[in-house]
Amino acid sequence: VECGSAAEAVTAANAGADIVLLDNFTPQALHAAAAAVKAAHPWVTVEASGGISLETLPHFLGSHVDVVSMGCLTHGANGLDFALRV
């Protein structure tokens, strides 16, 4: 479940979500929300996403964050034009 606040994240976990996506959080808000989710539901996977780059990645890593998604890995990739002829 994609969440935009700590309250939404805890509500999603309370409702039975297996994975809670904390989207576009500051590092400080992310760690606080992740800790709140894990305190109530330690088995819930917490994922961080939104605006995370290779330079800012260390600020988003923490003991309560299980997964980090980084769109910059695919947004900056160049396309390859190819064809398959049989």
Q: What is the pTM of this model?
A: 0.82
Q: Are 64 and 42 in contact (CB under 8 A)?
A: no
In the chain, what are the domains? 2-73 (3.20.20.70)
- Report CA torsion sign: 65, 26, 72, 19: positive
Which segments of the chain does DSSP mark as H helices, in order? 6-14, 27-40, 57-60, 72-75
| β-bridge mates for residue 67, sequence order | 47
Q: What is the DSSP letter of 13?
A: H
- From first to last of the 86 residues of the chain, give the pLDDT tens digit: 999 999 999 999 999 999 999 999 999 999 999 999 999 999 999 999 998 988 999 999 999 999 999 877 667 677 778 888 77
